[in-house]
Structure formats: C-alpha cells, structure tokens
Amino acid sequence: MKPYYVSTPIFYVNAAPHIGHLYTSVIADVLVRYSRLRHPDRPVFLNTGTDEHGLKIQQAAEAAGENPMQFCDRISERFKELGRAASIGSSRFTRTTNIDHKMSAQYFWDLLERSGAVYKGQHSGWYSISDECFYTDAQVETITGQTNVKVATETGSIVEWTTEENYKFRLSLYREPLLEWLNGNKLSVYPPTRRDELILQLSNPENFKDISISRPRSRLQWGIPVPRDKQQVIYVWLEALVNYLTAVGHPWTDGRNDGKGWPTDVHVIGKDILRFHAVLLPAFLLAIGYELPSTILAHAHWTVNRQKMSKSRGNVTNPFSVLQLYGVDPIRYYMMSVAGNFHDDSNWSEEQIVNHYNRDLRGVLGNLVSRITSPGLTSLLNSLASEEGHSVTSYALLDKNLPEDAIIKRMLEEAPSKFEQHFSQFEIGKALEIPMGLVNEANRHFIHLRWWEHKDSPDIIRRSHFYTHEALRIASILLQPFMPTKSQEVLAALCAGCNQWRSTVLGASGVPAKSKHTAPYSTLFPPIKLN
C-alpha cells in the first residue's frame, strides 16, 4: 500500500525558526496523525527538513563568521529541535547538503536534459537575493522615496537587474498541461481561491516565460554543481524542490518509485511559495514523466497587530518560548482553531491564546472531565452498580430516544462522519469544531438533567454519566491529531484501548457502571495567565 505522504517545505536556514515554521509543521503533523487514526493499516510518511544552499545562505554564514557548512549544521539542528518540542513525528528530515540529495538533484537534472526541456542561453531579469528568484518587469514595482528601489510585488523583496549566461528550462511548453491539471482536480491546490488565481495567471501566455535553472559559479559557490559543467550551479529552487523525491529514495530503480510514497498526497506550504510548488515543480515533473502531487495546501500567514512578522519590526515570536510557556497541546489547538481553514492571514495574540485556553480547554473540556468525576456523581453511580450488580451501563439508554437526549445523541452519532468529511476537504478548522461541539453540548446536557436534584432517579444519574462519558471519549479520540498528549490522558482514564477510529461509535467500548477514573484531572489544564 502506498504510504500517505505529507511534506512540509524544507525550511530555509538563513535564520532561526519562527512561528510560521511551527504552524506549517503542525498542519502537516495533524494530517499525518489523522491518516493514522482513520486508516490505521496504511503507512504514513512525513518529510520535513532544511534548504541549505544559495547566495542568501552564503551571505548569512559570512555575517555570522562561520563557513557555510558550520552555519547550516547549527541552524538545521534548531529546526530538528522545534519538531521535537512540538511533538512533530517526522519520518525523514531532509537536508539539501546531504550526499544522497546531491545525487538525487543531479540525476533529476540529467532527466530534464534528456527530455529536451533544457537549453543554454543568456538570461536577464530582476533578481532577488532574498527570494533566490528572477522576476519579470510585470512582477516588480518601484518604491518611491529616497532610493526609489525596485521590489518584487508579491514578496516586497529588493531586486536588482541581472544579466548572466546559464541554463534555461522551457517552462512555456507546459502551460497547457498545467492548466489541465489544475482544472481537472479541484483539490490540486487548496484553498480554491489560490487555485483560481493560478489558473488566471496561466491563462495569459505572457505570464509564462522560460526560466533560468542555474547560476554561474562566479556568482554563487554554495550550491550543487551542474553535471558536466563546473562553471554552473543548479538553481537553488530546482534542487530544493527535488528534496521531496530524495526523501523517498530517488533516484529510483529503473525509474520506478517502488511504492515508497511518491507522489506526495499533500504538500503543506506557505502561500508565498505557491508558484514554486504549483507551477515549477509540476512542470519539471511533467517534463520527465513523473507523477504530480495530489494536493498542494497553501496556507495563509500569521501577523502581529495585523502586520507581517519581520526581524526589522521586532515582532517575530519565538516558537520555543510559547511552547514552553503555554504547553504543546494548547498551542497546537490554538493554531488549528484560529488558523485551521487557511484562507486568510491570522493575527498572533498571546492574550487570545490564554482566552482560548481558559474558555475552550479549561472551561469546556476540563470542566466536563471534572463533572464526570465529581464525588457526588461518582458515589451515586458506584452505589447503583453495587446494588444491581452491573459492571457496564445498560445500552437500553440508547433505545429510549428521550427528547432531552435527542441533540447530544444525534451529535454523537454524526460526529465521526462529519469529522471525516471536513478532513477530506482540508477543512481542518471545521473538523476541530466537531469534537469541541460535542463537549460543549455535553456540558449543556449535563446541566439540563441536573442529577443533583434527582438523586433518587437511577435513570437520570445513568444518563448524566453515560452521555458525558461518551462525549468525552469520542471527542478525545477525534482530538488526537490536534492534541496528542492531552487527549490520551483523558482516554487512558475513560477506557482501555479505546483510542481507535472504530471506537467512535456511540457505546462502542462499553461505559463502566462504576467510576474508576484515576488520572490527575487537576493538572489536565492548570490555570495560566498572561504575563
């Protein structure tokens, strides 16, 4: 069975990790954990890593007083540390300075040359060192002021006019095939608005010119040499994009992937690098006859006070600090709750983190846990079980169809299919609303029954416990991709071995008639305050 293959971009090591890197990694990890939950027999593969070549890295290393390899080793290790800190379970950490990637990139180059899509010529354009990219006249604008500098319209990076001899790729040959791919697969690029933007761009041949795929070694020393031409270095974006193939064993025996995972099921990237992944990579793959990715998920960005995060503004948030301060699962929950639909930029706010934590996690989920383990309910429930000799609550409750239970019962029955439907459409934020909706409704249902006013009613006591137990259990199963640690803490106390998808059926695991909860619920979501 082909593994479910998810990849983050390989992160550029010109600076330390920031919140955007954490966000991308969490999205990819949530997708992988969901696949493992929903399809436990299918292997999964998550690739992440670091992009370590290019002029920007060369200059950053010089500024740090290190040689490029030392610089890359140090920063790359920080990205590995971030993955471990955020519970990101990657299968492979790809570094473009590794020898297997060099072999993969040079083999890929050979395939492009054999395809006839590569030729040597002079290239002129507006080059951005920051973006490692050439831009056309239509893609730049002049910023008026003291210097009247030119910048890339999309990224705002400074560009300068550059003319050089290098190898070029006949990108113009693949405009129509790319349009067919985008039009033929509604999930080829997500969200749909970004797919529509690409289709509009590709519809105009003037926006689709041949591109440079190498740089003169005289300008760039820190890169992978072009095979058989010592004067040229492979364009950093071309060789970086090949990492997704390197991760699953490229070059492949006899040109075949041998079931290791290609093509990717989901590329998780930021919207600012969509063109490279949804135009250049597919065009390169078309040229050599390789399969195209299934979906490119291009998420929006985080801002601070509605401004883009940047070192110059001093508003870059340290991901290690927030993970340590608020906890891994709360930060994962916050990111997917606030920015889990990927369409628009989201504003990073530590005040908002605390509000979500206190309202949703401590106030709703934690509150429901405390209610099911309250001494009053526990003692009554255990007394009933001892008197009647039952070890498991009767499922006759499910057949009563009482009006007071109708809403919570319907939500519990429908939750798994709705959750699955949202994930199939990459509506991860909406998927997260399903388990949180369950615990919200279970809290309402619990208060409505008011068992403490009906201590002589075994039916109300059992219903209070049954529906609260099932809402917590099913919600915690569904929350595993988002909050892997906290959800397991709840499940471990509720039922043994009930963390699989098959256990999301209402009443599937049997509800204990006696309360045996032993988990330290007082520490499940301890109080936190904004510093």
Q: Are 408 and 445 in contact (CB under 8 A)?
A: yes
- How far apart CA 248 and CA 257 sit, in angstroms, is 8
- pTM comes to 0.91
Cα 461 from Cα 463, distance rounded (Å) = 6
Q: What's the burial of 359, exposed, middle or buried (CB within 10 Å: 0-12/13-18/19+)? A: exposed
Determine contact, residues 529/326, Cβ cutoff 8 Å.
no
H or E segment and range at residue 203:
none
Q: At a CB cut-off of 8 Å and minimum separation 6, what does 300 contact? A: 271, 339, 342, 343, 344, 345, 346
Domains and CATH numbers, the chain: 351-523 (1.10.730.10)
**pLDDT tens string for the chain (531 positions)?**
899 999 999 999 988 899 999 999 999 999 999 999 999 999 999 999 999 998 889 888 999 999 999 999 999 999 999 999 999 999 999 999 999 999 999 999 999 999 999 999 877 778 887 777 777 777 888 887 656 788 888 777 888 888 888 999 999 999 999 999 999 999 999 999 999 999 999 998 887 889 999 999 988 889 999 999 999 999 999 999 999 999 999 998 655 565 578 999 999 999 999 999 999 999 999 999 999 999 999 999 999 877 777 666 777 889 999 999 999 999 999 999 999 999 999 999 999 999 999 999 999 999 999 888 888 888 888 888 777 665 555 445 566 778 999 999 999 999 999 999 999 999 999 999 999 999 999 999 999 999 999 999 988 988 899 899 999 999 999 999 999 999 999 998 888 778 999 999 998 867 766 665 554 456 789 888 776
Identify the three-state secondary structure at position 172.
Answer: helix
Q: Cα-flanking dihedrals φ and ψ of residue 500, to 5°?
A: -95, 160
- Spell out the SS3 assignment of 443-484: HHHHHHHCHHHCCCCHHHHHHHHHHHHHHHHHHHHHHCCCCH
Which residues face 266 on adjacent strands? 6, 295
Mutual angle of helices 428-449 and 19-38, in 10-degree steps: 70
Instruction: Read off the DSSP letter of residue 13.
Output: T
For every residue of 217-258, DSSP letters joined together read TTT--SSPEETTEEEEEE-HHHHHHTHHHHTTTSSPGGG--T
pLDDT for 306-343, tens place per residue?
Answer: 777 766 677 788 999 999 999 999 999 999 999 999 99
DSSP assignment string, 22-63: HHHHHHHHHHHHHHHHH-TTS-EEEEEEEE--SHHHHHHHHH
Tally of CB atoms within 10 A around 203: 11
How many CB atoms are closer than 10 A to CB 97?
A: 19
Q: Please measure the distance between the N-terminal and C-terminal CA atoms of the chain and give it in whole angstroms.
A: 49
Angle ∠(209,215,219) on CA atoms, nearest 5: 135
Backbone φ and ψ for 279, nearest 5 degrees, come out as -125, -60
